[in-house]
Homo-oligomer: A and B are copies of this chain.
Amino acid sequence: MHSAQFTLTVSCADQPGLIAAITGCIADGNGNILNLAQHTATDIGMFFCRIAFASREGFTEEGFSASFAKIAERFQMEWGLFADAKKKRVAVLVSKTSHCLYEILLKHADGELDCEIPVIVSNHPDLAHIATSFHIPFFQVDPAKGKDAYERDLEEILERYGTELIVLARYMQVMSPAFCRRWDGKIINIHHGFLPAFKGAKPYHQAWQKGVKIIGATGHFATEDLDQGPIIFQDVIRVSDTRSVEEFIRMGKDVERRVLVEAVRRYLAHSIFMYSGRTFVIE
């Protein structure tokens, strides 16, 4: 048996002995820790931990899981065990704007996004040629049929391709609350404003009118409340007052695409913990 790599995530109320118990279980189960990142959020008394480890001879996923389940029960942990070899299947949803889609496909092609991208779906035909040039199936779903029919078609495609994560790459279509709930914590969206400022439409116009000196973008989980979901990653750039709204939009594109990829990267690395309506990204 050759070595495989795994990621273990743990969150629970803070209490003595957590790390020794967790790392002891890994050692006893023939795992070799490669990286351990841990944080105790003292403001809320919570412990978050993410461990990358390699298996040694004698390790089995089932055996380890059974052993760890006992520890998890004792400390009332939420936990997950992920085999790195099993890539997440990510569907990308787009509309007419290409910069975020290109960024995801180029980073993926360069081996920098550790997932599969089996399908691209859009409410417009405009970006089909990009999907084609990267040899990924493209589907255009027509929203004119009404939201119910539209989302049924969409769900059918997502299911057919075994989708585990949905990435909205400047996808300009509001999802129904039911859809958001079904995919809770599994839709990553990019908002082209520095949330919580500038929710809603035309955030760059809002920013220009307000005269802010720094603009940004926010990668977040999509929820029923538009532009209110838990924030995963943000970035900003300084803007001069000599810039027009059009220049904000142009300059913002580079921030948007970077933020979206970084948010997805953190998701794929199992670095995102949710608690109390916000994320804790532990790297």
| Contacts from A to B (Cβ < 8 Å) | 16-21, 23-24, 26-27, 32-43, 56, 98-99, 102, 106, 110, 112, 133, 194-198, 208-214, 216, 230-231, 233-236, 240-242, 244-245, 250, 253-254, 258, 276-283
Contact = CB atoms under 8 A, between A and B. Distances in A.
A281 to B, nearest CB: 5
A99 B107 CA distance: 9
A234 B210 contact: no
Nearest to A280: B241
A185 to B, nearest CB: 14
Contacts of A32: 16-17
B211 A282 contact: no
- Sorted nearest first, the 9 A-B pairs with minimum C-beta distance are A211-B278, A20-B27, A197-B197, A16-B32, A20-B23, A213-B234, A39-B242, A241-B280, A19-B23
Nearest to A231: B211
Contacts of A133: 133
A282 B99 CA distance: 29
B235 A281 contact: no
A149 to B, nearest CB: 34
A43 B245 contact: yes
A264 to B, nearest CB: 15
B245 A16 contact: no
Contacts of A195: 197, 212
Given A211-B230, A236-B236, 14 more contacts: A17-B32, A20-B23, A20-B33, A34-B40, A36-B38, A39-B242, A42-B244, A99-B110, A194-B194, A194-B197, A195-B197, A210-B231, A211-B280, A212-B231
A250 B111 CA distance: 10
A222 B268 CA distance: 40
Contacts of A276: 209
Contact of A20 (B26, B110, B212, B230): B26
Contacts of A40: 34-35
Nearest to A258: B254
A36 B19 contact: yes
A235 B212 contact: no
Nearest to A198: B196
Contacts of A24: 20, 23-24
Contact of A244 (B16, B41, B198): B41
Nearest to A244: B43
A233 B209 contact: no
A33 B56 contact: no
B196 A214 contact: no
Nearest to A230: B211
